[in-house]
Amino acid sequence: MKPVVHVELTGKAIKTVLVLLAFISAILALVWLLISPAYAIAGGIGVILIVRGLYALFTPSTE
């Protein structure tokens, strides 16, 4: 028997995720302005990889 993970999203969880994404966007904007666009782009790619990894972690397999 395969284990089942049940994840429940509430309004508070969605609000927290949106605030976190806004915070990350603000940090990347500051990095873009103060340091270099290259570092901000690299950080953005890192954030995208983390989000895609979490999505893959919680998506059921097709097997």
Query: Can you give the pLDDT at residue 63?
Result: 65
Confidence of residue 5 (pLDDT cuts 50, 70, 90): confident
Q: How much is the mean pLDDT over the chain?
A: 88
Confidence of residue 52 (pLDDT cuts 50, 70, 90): very high
Query: Can you give the pLDDT at residue 1?
Result: 65
Where exactly are the structural domains of the chain?
11-57
The dihedral over CA atoms of 12, 17, 18, 23, expressed in degrees to the nearest 10, equals 130
